[in-house]
Amino acid sequence: MSVTHSSDNSSPDSARSMAPLDLARRLIACPSVTPATGSVFDAMEGMLAPLGFDVLRTIDGDAPDGPVENLLAVRKGPEGSRHFAFAGHLDVVPPGEGWTSEAFEPEIRGDLLYGRGAVDMKGSIACMIAAMAELPTDAGTVSFIITGDEEGPARHGTVALMEHMAARGLTPDLCLVGEPTSVNRLGDMMKIGRRGSVNIFLGVDGVQGHVAYPHLADNPAPKLVRMLAELDALVLDEGTDWFQPSNLEITEIHIGNPAHNVIPTKAEARVSIRFNDLHSGESLSRMVTEVAKKHGGWSKPVISGEPFLTAPGAFSTMLSDAIRAETGIEPELSTSGGTSDARFLKNLCPVIEFGLNNATMHKRDEAVAVADLDVLARIYRRVAEAALAQ
């Protein structure tokens, strides 16, 4: 399912401040627990339309993982100019309990702006919008690839937006994802790649019976335990030049047997594997399936993404130069951490992730340093200028 409309480049927000702090507060004030809908997209459209962006909003996918609201905004440059894309998400994780102030009522206390999404990642979206407000419209083509479902199943978000881009003949030359990558201070780390991810559901079917008569039953639990022990003992690799070692983790064991004197009918588990470029989701799924079958069980793999690497080069250099110019520090090039929608966008063009300090993401009292918003907006402008001038 896809419903679309485009802006007419007029908005009552056109006279409002384009300072990154003000933009971030306006976005945070729109509750947008995944999947995000409605008001937060209205707010972003109101920010982009006055800057000359043609804003396309879509609703993609059906239940159970849809529908999902997405936004694609494009400001075209001169014919033949380069195309720089900024990608991110407006949805946030649930705020949880125990906030000092309301999660969706942005509040400045001291040097920090508090609110859900302050760093992950409404703050960086605000910085990129502020950067584009300062970028000449004839510098080149700029686009925003913004989903409402990065924190959720992510089946009808960025993937759907890429389909809309293909239908319109839009292919970026470079893409920057605004995930919060900085660790101790703004600018100390960018992500030039990520490991792949696969979750594999495992199970053994047995025959229920009385524990006093085990010969009349078939207990699946010992088989599952042996299966998991073999999987847990695996050493997948020792890492590569740019990637840490792959790891397999047991994330769930479930039998669901409420009776103490009944041999259960089935035993189930789940493992999660984060893997480097020595493997593929398919090869690891086959390996786990073989172990499962060896112990009389079954497996159902769900591959979330494959590993990718944007090799150090022109893109990472221009981002490093921008960071150094504004912060005075040299960023680390890393592939650590979890997955992001960069795993999809790498099929379009070279992609790098860079954004705010990630110390409070997904936590209560999520907060961003107000000063970092201004610095990040300047970094983003420098990167956009360099990318479009190549």
Catalytic residue set: 91, 150
Tokens found for residue 166: 């293909």
Distance CA 155, CA 97 (A): 28
DSSP 131-154: HHHTS-TTS-EEEEEEES-TTTT-
Kindly provide the b/e burial profile for residues 160-175, where b requires at least 16 CB atoms within 10 angstroms of the residue's own CB. Answer: bbbebbeeeebebbbb
Distance CA 376, CA 176 (A): 13
Tokens found for residue 194: 């990520």
Distance CA 242, CA 238 (A): 12
Distance CA 267, CA 42 (A): 47
Residue 4, classed as helix, strand or coil, is: strand
Distance CA 28, CA 180 (A): 16
β-partners of residue 109 are: 112
**Parallel, antiparallel or unpaired: strands 83-89 and 174-177:** parallel
Report in angstroms the alpha-carbon separations of 304 from 64, 122, 153, 274. 17, 24, 9, 10
**Parallel, antiparallel or unpaired: strands 266-275 and 112-114:** unpaired
CA angle 243, 245, 250 (to 5 degrees): 130
Question: Residues within the annotated binding site for Zn(2+)?
Answer: 89, 120, 151, 179, 362
What H or E segment, with its residue span, contains residue 275? strand 266-275
Distance CA 36, CA 24 (A): 16
